[in-house]
């Protein structure tokens, strides 16, 4: 059964401007250390930051926008196959485990022409 669906699109320039303006304060407040390492290893880190930001927003929409979750508690990870996924931390992990016990999170990311988009589907038993 589908618990929720979320989608978000982000202008890559908006994320780039935030990173340039606020630097580490912005990045460390929004992204996990693993995400930061991944993005900094890319040719264009801003595309990757924007895709991850969109994934976090899409996840919140799919979960329930009324649930208090910090962006840094939602991490985008990659399986060995390269497939993106979401790993939860802190309050987000506790809420998800309690409310959706055996729930599964499906994530799709893409970027093109200065925009990054993410789609999240949360399944519940």
Residues acting as catalytic residues: 61, 111
Question: 12: which 2 tokens?
Answer: 């890559």
Residue 112 CB-density burial (10 A; 0-12 exposed, 13-18 middle, 19+ buried)? exposed
Residue 45 CB-density burial (10 A; 0-12 exposed, 13-18 middle, 19+ buried)? middle
Pairing of strands 84-88, 104-112: unpaired
Q: Phi first, then psi: give them for residue 95, nearest 5 degrees.
A: -65, -45
Question: 17: which 2 tokens?
Answer: 């401007």
Element (H, E) at 117: strand 115-123
């Amino acid at each position: 059964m589908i618990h929720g669906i979320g989608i978000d699109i982000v202008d890559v320039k908006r994320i780039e401007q935030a990173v340039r303006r606020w630097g580490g304060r912005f990045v460390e407040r929004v992204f996990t250390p693993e995400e930061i390492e991944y993005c900094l290893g890319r040719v264009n880190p801003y595309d990757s930051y924007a895709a991850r930001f969109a994934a976090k927003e899409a996840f919140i929409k799919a979960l329930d926008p009324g649930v208090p979750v910090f962006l840094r508690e939602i991490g985008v990870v990659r399986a060995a196959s390269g497939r993106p996924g979401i790993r939860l931390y802190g309050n987000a992990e506790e809420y998800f485990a309690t409310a959706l016990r055996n729930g599964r999170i499906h994530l799709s990311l893409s970027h093109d022409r200065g925009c990054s988009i993410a789609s999240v589907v949360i399944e519940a038993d």
